[in-house]
Amino acid sequence: MLDTLQSSALVRALSGLFDDVSLLLRQEIQLAKTEIASAAAGHAKAAAFFAVSGVFGLITLLLLCQTIVFALIAAGLAAHWACLIVTGALALIALAAFLAGRSAMARSSLPHRTVNQISRDIAVVKETLS
């Protein structure tokens, strides 16, 4: 009779543990989904800002480049050298903008809180089982 009670208590305890672990995993998955959705919204917002700034920046740069080329020509520089100087400056600006965009995108790629929480949960389950 004592063996039956002990095995029944063990079965209930293991069942409760598995239910708790299952609930915990569902909650962690929901947290990860929420965090990823939030990051995706941030990426969409960043992409919209990149697009708007790209359109207006292109128009502005074209007009500014035309002005600078004409000013260099008026200052006595040959037309091909004036165009080459302006092109080199634009290449440097484009590189800086690309690096800034890549840096902004890399900052929000992983759900760090969820990963840390799952690691702690695994440690607690291991400690409970040992």
Number of domains making up the chain: 1
* Domain containing residue 77: 19-129
Q: What's the mean pLDDT in 83-91?
A: 92
Asked whether residue 91 is assigned to any structural domain, the reply reads yes
Residue 58 in any domain: the answer is: yes
Tell me if 14 is assigned to some domain: no
Q: Is 4 within the bounds of a domain?
A: no
Which of the 8 DSSP states describes residue 81? H
Note whether residue 8 is domain-resident. no
For CA atoms 14, 16, 20, 23, give the dihedral sign.
positive
- The per-residue pLDDT for 5 is 63
Q: How far apart are CA 103 and CA 98, in angstroms?
A: 9
114-118, long-range: CB < 8 A, 24+ apart: 114/28, 114/31, 114/32, 114/35, 117/28, 117/31, 118/28
Mean pLDDT of the 15-19 span: 82
Q: What is the pLDDT of residues 46-73, one digit of tens each?
A: 889 999 999 999 899 799 899 999 999 9
Question: Which pTM does this prediction carry?
Answer: 0.41
- Within a domain: residue 6? no
Taking the CA atoms of residue 95, residue 96, residue 98 and residue 99 in that order, the dihedral angle to the nearest 10 degrees is: 110
Does residue 12 fall inside a structural domain? no
2 lies in some domain: no
